[in-house]
Amino acid sequence: MLGTNTYPAACVQAARDEIAAQIQAYRDLVGAASKASGMSLTRIDAALAAFEPAFFNNLLIALDARFAQRPSGAGDVLDEVRTIVAALLAHAGVMTGAADVGYDPSRSVLRLEPGDRIALNADDFEALCAAFLAEIEKKQAFFDRPAL
């Protein structure tokens, strides 16, 4: 949806559905790996520990790109995601201050502080994604309301 800062409910629901499928695929992978034979549990745990943040950090980048034209500057979860993604892409995964968008760790979902290494797990991503999509819907409801 290039060139728009409004997103139909179907677009938000499609994002929710696709992300839920990806999270389920991750959880299925974890379950299958934990049952796998022929590999030590320590090696499986280490492989999953390395894979989880890479997967969820990249899934957040994909979510951000899907709603790239959204408004910013309110210091809300939309800006939190934008700040985290910028840190992942431009600062080697280290959280920055991002005062230009009003990021405030005390009002954020994940409470990441400047200097923190970003390594999202499934629970972090689910919480951030749910809050992000709810905020997109809230802003959409504002755009959809009749003019006075």
53 in a structural domain: yes
2 in a structural domain: no
pLDDT in tens, the chain (148 residues): 444 567 778 888 988 999 999 999 888 888 888 777 566 667 778 888 889 999 999 999 999 999 988 877 678 899 999 999 999 999 999 998 766 677 889 999 999 999 999 999 999 999 999 999 999 988 876 555 554 5
Chain center to CA of 97? 18
- Number of structural domains found in the chain: 1
23 in a structural domain: yes
pTM: 0.81
Q: Which domain holds residue 21?
A: 9-143
148 in a structural domain: no
88 in a structural domain: yes
75 touches 107 (CB < 8 A): yes
pLDDT at position 8 is: 78
Runs of H (alpha helix) within the chain: 9-35, 41-66, 77-90, 122-144
67 in a structural domain: yes
Nearest C-alpha neighbor of 62 from the set 136, 135, 125: 125
Number of other residues whose CB lies within 10 A of the CB of residue 49? 11
Strand, helix or coil for residue 117:
strand
4 in a structural domain: no
18 in a structural domain: yes
